[in-house]
Each structure stands twice: as structure tokens, then as C-alpha cells.
Structure 1
């Protein structure tokens, strides 16, 4: 991989600037030693540490397509079009968690019931639902539905835990996504080992995903593919990696995944911190993915290198972030559908992941805790992508509908995205930790850019609760 001149410039700026300020964040080397305590030795018991609680989330979004865009819906046998779409759902999770049994190997069980109540049931509003509102084959909203979101058994020895069943899981390649009324989860077996002071390992094998807005389990498929490839699915996803902190100021991650007959994907990420936010703090972040086709190549030929480089500056209540991202490949940078496996700086409403795309983002954040209002935050950002070029794509090997067929029309495409948001977290009282977040995003794409031109307002309120 070759870093662009802009990426090298950003690295140089961060290095030069760091030398101009004091470094209260320690840069000391962290030796790797055995963890000081065993989590299992502190187990309280299966019943003794039992908890019952959950969250309820009110999720509202209104979207408007413009520059000629429209959604379709059926009414009285006719196909109608409209440029607006509204989804409003109340998602509730009730989670029952036992404690670990005592002894050398502890056993624990977790069960969570997911329930969705559709508050806007208008066929015209939901436009078939997509991954926002569950709808039947006629486009009618399923008014209320439930499913078993989590159901697993966990075994723990020392600081290593093995989990079997339906579960949450989080790595840079396979990650639970929670940006709807209900989150996704995965069916399989995973482990998490924290036997060392600054080194941990994670891995898993999964064969099904429980989507955010579906009642049944599904096989994994890719997030980006041609229209004819939507039925292409994989039976197995294997992933393994490590998190390592060599210095107090530096955190790194190394992960790999085999998505059977789709691709092999490798990830490296690093975050480095300098300074003191009361004066000036600097955070540099780097994320890199390498993706190559595998097995039967159901998604076609793939050879893709994608990276992002970010520089964040913080002074008291204020933060300013610059991020550059580049896709080196004639296909999309792709990841698994119903996961958040894209740890790139410019993954926003658009992922800025088109073939050969370059993008740049600038963002500003304001934390009102510094002004006596803890929990209140504001942010604004602007991102631009350019140079999208799919004309050299041959990964479908001439088969229409295979892989990323269709991106060949993308020749010099570009787009831009603007967003503003505000959030507030209640600090105390019976509603402590309740969060309210409002966001407005506007995205504008050129003729063949895949995300189109859209405006969206979203209001999300999440309330945690404890029963036992």
C-alpha cells in the first residue's frame, strides 16, 4: 500500500505539532505481563449475580429524496411514487443475565427478548420498510413483533470466556450494529481472552445473523453488490484477532476474517494520543483493510486496499477532526450486511467506499460539560468524495449480475455530505443515562454515485431500565 501525499502530509503535521506541546499523556512502554487478577475468582454465583433489565428506544426518521429521486409503493394494485419516507418504531429489549457460577470454570446464561412496536403504520410512509420497519410482502407494516435477540451460554476460566449461541460480538470486521430501533446479533461460537495486561484475543465462527428488522435468522451476505447478486449468501464467517497496547498512548488492533466463498479480509488499526485537552490534545487514528476473493468467489474477483487517516485536536470543550480516506481497488470496499464491520473514519451516512474513491472530512464537536451542562454535546461535519471510477472493473468475469456488476458506469463520480447533530444524556435521577439524539444529514451525489441525493432528519431516544 502506498500512502498518498495528503496522508503523508497529515502524518507529518501530527508529528511536528506534537513536538510543540507538552505531553501529559504518558508515552511509556507497557510491558506484557499476566493479568493481575482473575475475573472468575470473583464470581458471585449463578443466582446471586442475576440481573434483569433492558432498554427501550423510540426511533424516528424522515427522509426526502431530491434531484429526481423517488421511492415506490403499491396501493390498490397500482405502483405509486413519492420522494418522502417516514419510519417510526419503538424497540424494547428485556435482558436476563445470570452471574457466573463459582469454581475453576464458571457458567453463565444470557437471554434477551426483542420487541418492536410500529408507531407509523402508513403504507405510503414506510415505502416497504427496508431495514427500518418490518413489512409483509404487500408492503404493509407488521404492527408489532418479537423475537429472541440473544440466547447464549458462557463458560469462563480465569479471564477467558467462551460464548455459544446467539450473541453480541464486536471486532473491526464482524460487529453488532445498533443504529435502528433494535440491534443485530450473531449465531455462533466466540471467545474473548484477557489473560495479559495489555494484550487480548478475540475470535469466533458464525453461520447466521439476526437482522435489525427481521424476525428470523438469515445467512450472511455483503452490504454492497449488484442487483442480481442479492441472493448470494455465505454459510460461514470465521474471524480471529488481537488488541495490543504497546505504549500507554498507543492502542493497536490486528484482525482477520474468512467469509466462506466471498473473501478473506485483514484489518490493522492504531490510535495514538498526545497532550492534554485542557491545553491541546492530539489524537491520530489509522485504519487499514485488505480484502481479496476466496473459494468460489461468489462476489467475483476482489483485490482491494482501503485506509483512512484522521487527526483530531481537542481544546477544553472544542474538538476539530480532519480525516482522509482512500479506496484502492476497482470494486467497492465491502463488508458484511447487518454488521458494523467498517471502522473507517469517513463511514457516515455514506460510506465513501466507491471504487478508487478518495474522500476528506472535517468535523467540529462541542462538549457543553465545560460550560456547566454535562451530557449536552453538539457536532457538525462536512465530507466530500471524488474520483469514483468503476470503469476498470472486470471482477464479475463478464457475468451480468455477478459481484459488483453495474459499477462500470461510475466514471469520475463525486458526492458530498453535510451533517449536524445534538445529543443529551441525563446525568442523574430515575432517568439517568437516558439519551436523546437529533441529527440532520444532507447527501448529494452525481448521476451514477450509488447513494443518490437525500435529506434525513432522525430523532432517537433511548431509555435504560432495571427490573431486578
Structure 2
């Protein structure tokens, strides 16, 4: 049945391509439209856990080369995308590595993290009009399958993706992926993903209003649907009010739920955020609510007890160090952001947030648990000169969890320091 749905969507995309031709006729060529970017990333994460849990932390240097070719000229354009990653372990040993939320360098059978790691991949692509089909190693960014690029090296997936932009304002996607490579892997070490099918799209109804729907079928694990509604109210005197709704509905496979969740299968989670922007300032108020037989499940690697749909597959407002996605959890957020470009120096910005979650059912006989997080992040991006686009990100979280939610989450203090320097070779 899922293959039938994917086939219908693909047929619709192709039909739209026949009805409206554009993009491919403007192709300049395989070489002329190609690009090569080498990003150097120095990343450090330290987690100072409380309640007797061992601290975790890793520090590494990465080099990520990404090549994107243009498309050959003609009715059907073809091209190639490729990447090469290398990472060097600067400070990580068996006593501090191994946290699932860090995962810079995969441990070997003796428990030691890798000294370095390397990975390469490539994909072939073809374009007709404004429809692109790509097969090979990719980094999908969809609400139901979103690769994790928030650590040292990114996750990658192997499979097929069709993306259509034939109608102005409308993007449709359909894809099937059969391998996941974890971010700390060497070579093509697999996360043991069987397969995941994805489809959906987004549409910009007006300049103010956009909506999206996506769905996925993670074989033998779960089915998931996602919806987004976003509306921006333009206000006088350099102001705006943005309302952003995000929601997921997840149902675990019956056998998977029996083996891992005592038969519990269903979850619904949603968030609604209101952001008032005035000049260089922004103020956000958000509410998030999880209901069902489990909390919201996503990410991780199947061979490590995870789900396999990507470490960033949580397009919700209250997701920082904690995701505030426990069973029956409700959470409120207040946040403040400021663009310091005119006050201090161009390219400097700051954000802070406070999130409180409550009503958490962690499976024990105690009361409903609570957690709270104070988040802050300072970001600087060089605006000009030889180091243009170099970015420095300093991030910190204080997470506290009470005794009635201790089986759901760990408390502690987290520090992240990331320095990225993308070099445009051509």
C-alpha cells in the first residue's frame, strides 16, 4: 500500500513537470553551475551530569568537503553530488565518550573512541523542468526525516528522493531510504535502518501564510505524520507577530511496541509559538503538549536502540537540550532574542529561553514529574574580509529534573562551543 501511495505521488509530480516547464531550460551546464565548499568545524560539547551520573564530553576537528555539480544542458539534465568527511579526535576517551547525545567518535569493541574517522559518499541526480530525482548518499531535511548536523559530523542516508517545484509556492517530495550512517561512523557503518518512505509537501498560500504536511513509514518501527501552519502578521513601525504551529502523530509498529514499550504505541505532540519581533528584539511565548501511550519518539540508530528517522526530526518549539517530549508532558517557554549588530558589532546575536515542563509520566508509581531548562546562545558571524562567514557559537543549558521524572531524563549543565569556517573553493 505504501508503494502505491508513493507511486501516485511520483506520477503527480511527473505530470506537473509535463504541464509546466522552467528550471532545466536555464541550465548552464555540469561544470558551469558546480560548486565546492570545504567547511572546517571545531566542536566541543561537555555535559556535567548531576545525581551521580558520569560526566560526558568530546572535542574534535572536522573537515567537510561538499561538491554539487550543475546539470547538463538539454531536456533532461544530469549531475553528481559528492562529499568527503574527515574528523580528528582532540580530546575524548572511554571515560567521557559514549553519550548518545554527543556521539562524536564511535566506540570500538574495547570501549575506546576512534582516534579519527573518514567517510565519503556520492549521489547521481537528474532534472526535468523543476523536478529533481536523486539517488545515493544524501542529507534529507524533512520534518519526518531530518539528518543531524548539530554535532561534529553529520548523519547521512542512502536512497532516492524526488523533489518537485513545478508550481510556484508548492514543493512536493517523495522518497525511500534504505541505509542510515551514524554521525560517528567510519566508512559506511550502518545504523541498521531497514527502510523509511517519506512523502509530503509545503505550500505558500500568501506572503503571510504557509502550510505543510509530511508523512513517513519507518519499516517495522513506526508511522508518523506532521503538520505545520505558519502565519506572519505585519505590524506598523518595524514590527511583526508570527504564529507557528507544529504537530506530530506517531504510531509504533505493534511488534516493536510489544518488544520495547510494553505494547504502548500512540503519541500526539504539538507546539504553538507566538513571536513578536520589534526592531532588533524578539519575544517568544510557546506552549507544547504531549499526549498518548508514550512520549514522542524519534532519532537514534536502530542498532543502538533508536528509531532511525534522524536526530533533528523534532520540529517543535520547546526543543533545546531537553525536548520536553515525555509521556503526557506539558511545557511553557518564554524566550528573548536580540540582534546586536548595531549595538556591538555586525554579525553578533544572542538568545535566551526558559522552559518549564510538568505532568510527566515516567512510568513509576510516583507523582507527575517536572523539568526546567535555562538556555542561552551567543553567535557571531564574520561579515567581511578573509574570514568572511566564519561563525562562533557559544551555547549553554542548565537542565533540572525532579525525582518524579528521573526515569525520563537526566539533569545537568551543558556547554557547547562550535567554530565553523566554510571556504568556497568555487
Q: What range is the shorter-chain TM-score in?
A: 0.7 to 0.9
Per-residue deviation at 1:295?
6.1
Equivalent residue, structure 2, for 1:196: 167
Partner SS for 2:91: coil
| Alignment pair present for 1:434 and 2:390 | yes
Q: Report what 1:465 is aligned to.
A: 423
Unmatched runs of 5 consecutive residues or more in structure 2: 1-15, 301-309
Distance 1:216 1:165, change over 3 A: same
Query: Offset at 1:203?
Result: 1.6
Q: TM-score, normalised by structure 2?
A: 0.87
Measured at CA, do residues 139 and 273 of structure 1 come closer, stay the same or move farther in structure 2, by a change above 3 Å? same
**Match for 2:83 among 109, 112, 118?**
112
Would the alpha carbon gap of residues 151 and 408 (structure 1) be closer, same or farther in structure 2, given more than 3 Å must change?
Answer: farther
Aligned ranges for residues 31-46 of structure 1 at < 5 Å? Answer: 38-46=22-30
Note closer, same or farther for the CA distance 1:103–1:381 as it changes in structure 2 (3 Å cut).
same
Aligned partner of 1:452 in structure 2 is: 410
Residue 250 of structure 2: aligned partner:
291
Q: Structure 1 pair 426/414, CA: closer, same or farther in 2 (3 Å)?
A: same
Distance between the aligned counterparts of 1:248 and 1:388, measured in 2? 39
- Match in the other structure for 1:256: 215
Shift of residue 340, structure 1, vs aligned partner: 1.1
Residue 166 of structure 1 is matched in structure 2 by: 137
Structure 1 gaps of 5+ residues are: 1-31, 72-83, 221-232, 391-406
Q: Determine the structure 2 residue equivalent to 1:239.
A: 198
How far has the Cα of 1:280 moved from its partner? 2.4
Give the match's secondary structure for 2:25.
helix
Distance 2:187 2:83 in 1: 15
Q: Distance in 2 between matches of 1:160 and 1:193?
A: 4
The 1-side partners of 2:57 and 2:139 are apart by 28
Counterpart Cα distance in 2 of 1:252 and 1:328: 23
Which of residues 354, 358, 362 is equivalent to 2:334? 362
Matched, 1:94 2:65: yes
**1:159: how far off?**
0.3
User: Is 1:157 matched with 2:128?
Assistant: yes
Write out per-residue CA displacement over residues 160-205 of structure 1, whole angstroms, 9 at most, x where no aligned residue.
0001001011111101211001111111101110000111101211
2:146 is paired with a residue whose SS is coil
Equivalent residues in 2 for 1:382-401, closer than 5 Å? 382-390=354-362
User: Are the counterparts in 1 of residues 246 and 272 from structure 2 also a CA contact under 8 Å?
Assistant: yes
Structure 1 runs, 4 residues or longer, greater than 6 Å off:
32-37
Q: Which residue in 2 is equivalent to 1:70?
A: 53
| TM-score (normalised: structure 1) | 0.79
Identify the residue that residue 265 of structure 2 maps to in structure 1: 302
Give me the whole-angstrom Cα distance separating, in 1, the residues matched to 2:296 and 2:26: 44
Match of 2:306 in 1: none
For 1:107 and 1:38, locate their aligned partners in 2 and report how far apart those are by CA, in whole Å. 16
- In 1, the alpha carbon distance for the partners of 2:175 and 2:311 equals 14
Question: Secondary structure at 1:40's aligned position in 2?
Answer: helix
Cα contact 1:316–1:370 (8 A) shared by 2: no
Offset at 1:364? Answer: 0.3
Report the number of matched residues: 395
SS of the equivalent of 1:424 reads strand
Q: How far apart, in 1, do the equivalents of 2:61 and 2:402 lie?
A: 35
Aligned to 1:393: none
The Cα RMSD (Å) is 2.3
Larger Rg: 1
User: CA–CA distance in 2 between the matches of 1:52 and 1:280?
Assistant: 38
Aligned twin of 1:17 = none
Deviation at 1:48, TM superposition (A): 2.8
Q: Structure 2 CA distance, aligned partners of 1:277 and 1:206?
A: 46
Q: Which residue of 2 aligns with 1:57?
A: 41
